[in-house]
Structures are given as C-alpha cells and as structure tokens.
C-alpha cells in the first residue's frame, strides 16, 4: 500500500552556511514530522528508504512482525536503511510492509542545495531497530547498593558517573575520541561507544579502565560511603539498538539489548566484589583476515596505556599503568592465561577471563610516597569464584 505525505516548499540553492544549517534543520523536522505518525509510538518500524524525485519513499512494518522475521534473518535490521530501487522493491514485497512517499523541498544528494543521505539516516534510525554485529560494552555494578541508605546511593551513583565522565575527558585529552553512550541498570551503568570498529572498541575498554582508576582514587579520598565498591565486566558481541518512547517521541539516545548485554548481565551475577571480568570474544578486523581474540585485544589496548603516563588524576600523576589477564605460574616468572566457564542460573555457559589492573601514582608532593592501586583479583583470590577454569592456550 502506498501513501503520500506532501511537504513540498520552494528550495534555496544559493545560501550562506547559516542558511544551509537552518534549511537542513527544517528538512530534518519535515522528515521527522512525516515519519513520526507512521511509527505510531513504536508500533511500526522503518525497515528501508530510497530517494525519489521530489523526496523519499520509506518502508514500514509492524515492529512485532519485524522481530519475528529477525529470528530467521537479520537482513531487515542489519546495515544501512537506505536501499537502491531493486532492494527497495524486494523489501516492499514482504507481507505487511507499507510504502509511503514523503515529498521534500530539496533533493537528496551531496552538494549545494541538497539534503545529504546521512541526515535522512540520522532521522530514520530513531524509528528503526538496528543490529550491530560487533560492539564493546562495559558494565559497572555497585556492590551492596541496595543496602545503602538513599543519600549514599545518590552519592555513589553520582561518583561513578563522574568517574565515567572524567575518563571520557581524559581520553579526549590524549587524542582518543569516543562517542560515549550509557544506560542505567539501577545500581550501575552499561557504557559503550556509538562509533563502531576495533579502534572504537579499544577506546571503550580504555574508558572502562580509566573510570575504574578514578573510582579507586575517589574511594581513597572520600571514603567508601561516598565512592562505590565495584565489580566490572567488559565484553564484545552483537546487539540490537532501538529508541524507547519518551513522551510521544523516540528518545534522543538509543537503548541496546542483545548477546553482549545479556552475557554481561549473566557474568556480573557471578563476579566477585572488586573483580574485573573480560568476556571471551573474537573480533574480526575490517579489510583483513585477522581476528582479534580477548587476549590480543587486551594486549593491544594495554599498549595505548603508555599515553596516560604523567596524566594527573585525583591521587597524583600516573607513573605506571598495566592491565593483564591472570593465570597460573608455569615457570620462573612465566604465567599462562586461565579461561573460566560461568554457568548462569538458566544453565547457559559464558566464557570469561579474570583481569588485573595495577596503577602507580607519583607522589603529589616532593618527598611523598608513591600510591599503589591494585584493582581486580589475583588468581589466588578466586577461591569463591563460581567458575570452572581451564588453560586458555589448550583451548581451540
């Protein structure tokens, strides 16, 4: 079925930069105003769009039907929503899909007087369900949060959020950019990078580690009632993104759920207070046959920690910082890496590695003492860790 939504007004080609910004803002508002009623408070989702003379055509489907299709194939949630004519006709051939024409004052394209496809995508995405095959996500969980009084809960959440924010800033200070996103779990936060790719994933890992370091110095400075005791899990995997309703519109930020968030939630249930767990994953490297596993990922990220030497944190300047996966000593000064199998309450298994993080802070005053901060659990401290261990190097 085809509908028509007429938003046509005269286009302006010769314009100043300010006029262009205003024109594109108007175009985004027009597209949003046309798509919003079709979305119907989340009942329907946009699964594709194409350019047409005079505007764009969008394909929508009932969200419940789309999610049923996802059990068979991710082709309607993966990749860009923009489609060529052949692909768009295929999409419209699916039962339940409705195509709607939206007329716009400007043509879609790159150049003066045109509306860039990226602008259309940015609006359409808010009304879509999107699958991302590989993304790094961190999960911070405050230990004993429910036993704290309300003021302590507010203080600890505020302290943790500040640690995440200052870690974001410190990454930027050394030239590592991250398009930070987060969602609350009630007693902690999921954090991830809206940008994708191996570099974006490593930036997410570094943010989690820097936030942990700041939280540790905050506990030294302000006490355990004001800064939380944490357990932290980090992993990489697939997920779906969608925008929840706020008022009568999609929220301005996305919400993620899928393999990676579910795995993190199951891992955190078994994680000991003060422990850092890194999930097992294989991260494909774009335009390469290489695959980055957990150990290689941590090693590659740890090399970037050199950039933080000399950085000032609340406890002093970072003199040394190191992250490593733990194992058993197999020779003088040589250690293997142990892989842990965690069985969740539903009987599903999740594989992870125990991680340590050691930070040495230079004294803030001449003649003062170094501050040693040891985060995570040593191998010998894992007696109560409900997981089965095996030598990672022996696993295939």
CATH code at 163? 3.30.70.1230
- Domain boundary pick from 108, 128, 148: 128
pLDDT, the chain, mean:
88
What does the DSSP 8-state code read for residue 43? T
Give 134's contacts (C-beta < 8 A, 6+ positions apart): 196, 201, 236, 237, 238, 283, 284
Same domain? For 155 and 242 the reply is yes
Q: Give per-residue pLDDT as tens, 38-64.
A: 999 999 999 999 999 889 999 999 999
Same domain? For 122 and 143 the reply is no
Least confident of 19-23, 99-103, 323-327: 19-23
- Domain boundary pick from 96, 128, 160: 128
Higher-pLDDT residue of 115 and 246 is: 115
Same domain? For 215 and 192 the reply is yes
CA–CA gap between residue 267 and residue 276 (Å, rounded):
10
How many domains does the chain contain in total?
Answer: 2
Same domain? For 103 and 154 the reply is no
Same domain? For 86 and 144 the reply is no
Q: Under a CB-based contact definition with an 8 Å cutoff, are residues 81 and 70 in contact?
A: no
Same domain? For 244 and 319 the reply is yes
Q: Which region, left, alpha or beta, applies to residue 18 given φ > 0 means left and ψ of -120 to 50 means alpha?
A: alpha
Q: Which of 167, 164, 201, 232 is nearest to 375 (CA)?
A: 232
Same domain? For 121 and 143 the reply is no
Judged against a pLDDT cut of 60, whether residue 12 lies above it is answered with no
Higher-pLDDT residue of 170 and 368 is: 170
Q: Under a CB-based contact definition with an 8 Å cutoff, are residues 124 and 102 in contact?
A: no
Judged against a pLDDT cut of 60, whether residue 328 lies above it is answered with yes
Same domain? For 348 and 265 the reply is yes
Same domain? For 228 and 249 the reply is yes
What does the DSSP 8-state code read for residue 364? S
Least confident of 25-29, 256-260, 261-265, 266-270: 25-29
Give 253's contacts (C-beta < 8 A, 6+ positions apart): 181, 243
The parent domain of residue 15 ranges over 2-128
Q: Under a CB-based contact definition with an 8 Å cutoff, are residues 164 and 181 in contact?
A: no
CB atoms inside a 10 Å sphere around CB 146: 8
Give mean pLDDT, residues 267-278: 96
- Domain boundary pick from 77, 106, 128: 128
Report pLDDT for 62: 96
SS3 328: coil
Report pLDDT for 395: 42
Report pLDDT for 190: 97
Same domain? For 88 and 12 the reply is yes
Same domain? For 38 and 105 the reply is yes
CA–CA gap between residue 272 and residue 256 (Å, rounded):
25
Can you read off the two tokens belonging to residue 369?
A: 């003492």
Same domain? For 160 and 283 the reply is yes
* Residues constituting the chain: 396
């Amino acid at each position: 079925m085809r509908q028509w939504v007429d938003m046509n007004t005269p286009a302006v080609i010769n314009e100043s930069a300010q006029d262009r910004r205003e024109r594109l803002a108007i175009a985004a508002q027009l597209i949003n105003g046309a798509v919003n009623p079709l979305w119907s408070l989340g009942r329907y989702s946009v699964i594709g769009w194409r350019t047409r003379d005079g505007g764009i055509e969008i394909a929508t489907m009932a969200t419940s039907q789309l999610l049923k299709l996802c059990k068979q194939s991710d082709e309607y949630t993966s990749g860009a929503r923009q489609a060529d004519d052949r692909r768009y006709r295929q999409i419209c051939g699916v039962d339940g899909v409705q195509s709607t024409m939206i007329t716009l004052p400007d043509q879609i394209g790159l150049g003066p007087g045109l509306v860039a496809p990226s602008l259309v995508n940015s609006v359409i995405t808010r009304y879509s369900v999107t699958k991302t095959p590989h993304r790094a996500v961190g999960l911070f969980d405050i230990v004993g949060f429910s036993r704290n009084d309300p003021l302590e809960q507010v203080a600890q959440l505020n302290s943790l959020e500040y640690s995440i924010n200052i870690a974001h800033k410190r990454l930027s200070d050394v030239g590592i950019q991250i398009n930070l996103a987060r969602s609350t779990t009630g007693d902690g936060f999921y954090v991830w990078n809206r940008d994708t790719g191996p570099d974006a994933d490593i930036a997410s890992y570094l943010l989690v580690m820097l936030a942990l370091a700041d939280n540790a110095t905050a506990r030294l400075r302000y006490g355990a009632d004001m800064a939380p005791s944490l357990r932290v899990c980090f992993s990489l995997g697939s997920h779906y993104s969608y925008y929840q309703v706020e008022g009568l519109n999609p929220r301005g930020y996305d919400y993620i759920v899928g393999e990676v968030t579910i795995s993190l939630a199951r891992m955190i249930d078994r994680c000991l207070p003060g422990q850092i767990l890194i999930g097992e994953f294989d991260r494909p490297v774009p335009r390469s046959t290489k695959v980055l596993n957990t150990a290689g990922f941590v090693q590659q990220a740890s090399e970037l920690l050199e950039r933080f030497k000399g950085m000032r944190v609340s406890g002093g300047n970072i003199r040394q910082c190191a992250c490593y996966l733990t194992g058993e000593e197999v020779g003088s000064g040589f250690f293997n890496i142990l892989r842990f199998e965690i069985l969740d309450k539903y009987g599903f298994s999740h594989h992870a590695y125990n991680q340590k993080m050691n930070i040495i802070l230079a004294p803030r005053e001449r003649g003062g003492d170094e501050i040693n901060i040891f985060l995570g659990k040593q191998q010998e401290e894992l007696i109560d860790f409900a997981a089965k261990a095996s030598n990672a190097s022996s696993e295939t």
